[in-house]
Amino acid sequence: MLHFHKSLRNQGQIAFSAAALAALLALPGVGPAQAANSPFTALSGTWSGGGVITMASGAKERIRCRAQYGVDGSGSNLDLRLRCASDSFTFELQSNVAHNNGVVSGTWAETTRAVGGSLDGSAKGNRIQVRVTGTLSALLAMSTNANQQSISIQAPGSEMTSVAISLSRGR
């Protein structure tokens, strides 16, 4: 059941769509021969944490997120389930993403609001950068170091101007 203030409906939709998309960018995988060297293959499992959404008005709101990353045996495909919530709204994302030779691509759907689209970008070392398109447009950057992930989202011109999330493995 969704509970959020009507005035936050669009803000929540945009902010959590972008936040969830950022989390899905911790995408596992490169070709099978390179899977062991990929910075993404170690993401399989459960991650959780929190962050802050900054709205165009300047208002800020704390969020809590929990992600489940499923990685195929080759490390080239990711199935993501992400749930984020604040005091005023909830977001649930499902995504399928592939990584091949430094290129990241895939689809996303936010199931509670029936919105979605595609993403494409690049991955190098422990960093992923993508452009999200579809119901919203955003630039996302993510870095993963051991059991910590940092996610930054910039969505100029939308109700949500930025999102910063920190996730940890297995909390």
Q: How far apart (Å, rounded) are the C-alpha atoms in residues 30 and 78? A: 11
Distance CA 55, CA 104 (A): 28
For 23-74, what is each residue's pLDDT tens digit? Answer: 444 433 333 444 555 556 767 789 999 999 888 888 899 999 998 888 887 7
pLDDT beyond 70 at 9: no
Helix (H) or strand (E) holding 153: strand 148-154
The domain locations on the chain are 6-169
Q: 80-115 burial, b if ≥16 CB within 10 A, otherwise e?
A: bbbbbbbeebbbbbbbebbbeeeebebebbbebbeb
The per-residue pLDDT for 16 is: 43
Q: Which residues contact 129 (CB under 8 A, 6 or more apart)?
A: 121, 122, 123, 139, 140, 141, 142
At 87, give phi and psi (nearest 5°).
Answer: -70, -20
Fold of 6-169: Lipocalin (2.40.128)
Q: Average of pLDDT values for 3-11?
A: 36
pLDDT in tens, 79-91: 888 888 887 777 7
Phi and psi at residue 9, in whole multiples of 5°? -55, -55
pTM recorded for the entire structure: 0.75
Paired with 99 in beta bridges are: 104
142 close to 148: Cβ distance less than 8 angstroms:
no
